[in-house]
Amino acid sequence: MNKKSARLMESFRWAVYGLADAWQKERNMKIHSVATFLVLAAGLWLRLERVEWLFILSAVFLVFTMEMLNTSLERVVDLFTREYHPLAGAAKNAAAGAALLASLYALLVAGFILLPRLAERINIF
């Protein structure tokens, strides 16, 4: 393996470590993981179409991406100060708000795609 390939593999290892660390230490990552499992299981059971999977998976990855960015920003702010500062608080709140928006989007996507399919499957309407 050449030097560039070795560095690339090392960067992937660090990225996986970052994901694993966030999953171990962040409650919301675990909550999102359970929700993802349930949505994916429901999608398989309801036999979603390709475009529906595209929306579901895009929403899932958006949520995880925003949670990772929120986690990294919180940790960087904590690295620089443990004392309360209004700007630090505002930065953390904004990142948390972004993660919340992504989660709300995922709920909307799941609702628009899964609820009609579920209602059809169990003959509600």
Does the CA dihedral 76-81-84-90 come out positive or negative?
Answer: negative
Closest CA to 71 of 30, 120, 10, 122: 30
Structure tokens at 53: 């999977």
Cα separation, 112 vs 24, in Å, equals 31
Does the active-site annotation cover 67? yes
Closest CA to 104 of 16, 9, 32: 32
Closest CA to 60 of 41, 42, 35, 43: 35
The pTM assigned to this predicted structure is: 0.90
CATH number of the structural domain 27-121: 1.10.287.3610
Q: What is the pLDDT of residue 4?
A: 87
Write down the domain spans for the chain: 27-121
The mean pLDDT value of the chain amounts to: 95
Structure tokens at 67: 């949670």
- The answer, yes or no, to whether residue 124 has pLDDT greater than 80, is no
Q: What is the pLDDT of residues 42-84, one digit of tens each?
A: 999 999 999 999 999 999 999 999 999 999 999 999 998 888 8
Task: Please identify which of the residues 10, 67, 74, 83 carries the catalytic annotation.
Answer: 67
pLDDT band at 1 (very low <50, low <70, confident <90, very high): confident
pLDDT band at 125 (very low <50, low <70, confident <90, very high): low
